[in-house]
Structure 1
Amino acid sequence: MVLDLLEGLYLLEKGLLTVYERVKAEGAPSETSRPWRSIRQLLRPFLERLRRFLRGPREALTRVTAQQVIRELRPRDLRELGRRLHEDFEAKYAVYKDLRDTGLVVTTGIKFGCDFAVYRRGPGLEHAPFLVSVRKPEDTITAPDIVRAGRLATTVRKRFVLALVDERTGAVRYLMFKWFRA
């Protein structure tokens, strides 16, 4: 899921998360040539070691076999993974980061047919007031696209927002549609 990767990168850049990758030692068959399918796979070695550490620190430090090396991933490693796995990853991450930096809670919007559902307080505490679709300024948006988005947003009582990302500057602009009865 894209959101897991976005959240992982966001927390890694903020210094709140460390992500590890399991690689084979020299001479052992490599698993690094296969692209990871999700952030959970990237986090699995870390979580396994954490569980072992909670049972006993000595065991945690000695359980890695001679065939395995744990490598700490940097933000640019996760960005590269995101670019390989997901279309428009950089634009989506720019919007995700901008929304999170303003204190909003961002979840996947796939069930609404958009990129993100955005909350002021969080799921379970309120319904998401905004549905966000990430676009580039040069993207063509047709009248039926706008009507479709508006009808969906109105049906589920949310505001539809287009997030436009300028790839040169990284600036994010938002266009919010407010529907009214004629």
Structure 2
Amino acid sequence: VVDTLVQSMGQQTNTISDGWQIATEDFVGAYGAASAWKTTPDKMIYRTDLSIERMQVYDYERKQNVSVYAPEKIGGMDDYDFYLWGARALLTIQNPECHNGKKLLLFRDSFGSSIAPLLAEYYEEVTLVDLRYVSASYALELLGDTEYQDVLFLYSAPILNHGDSLRF
């Protein structure tokens, strides 16, 4: 998926097959946990390597740097909070290993948070915005910013099917 997205934005990719880890084998997700139907647990995986470990993630709500992955969130209310500390209005990922001058503006929900570190390997900077938590005027201001070479809108189907949750 990452290769397809990155290539569609005009970049070359390096197929990477190593560094994959299992965060949990008991993932059912927020919707699965709330469902009356029996949900079969799945593996929740992530990729790590020196490049991802060196990424700097700034959380504008906390006003501090946070890690890319939050293992302490596994087994909590939502295991998906493992990725970039869960639902956040605005984050920036700096990748000191990439020197191509490219910046990505990524509008996303928690689904997008899981793929963002993989996309960040191809950008010097990725700004992540969740339209459920920011104003339309701020989102439009970001879209008008010419420092971003690429813009990606990446939301899960349930969020898109209930567009009233997006503040745009």
- Answer 1 or 2: which has greater helix percent: 1
Same fold (TM over 0.5): no
TM-score by length of 2: 0.29
Larger Rg: 1
Larger RCO, structures 1/2 (Cα 8 Å, 6+ apart): 2
TM-score by length of 1: 0.28
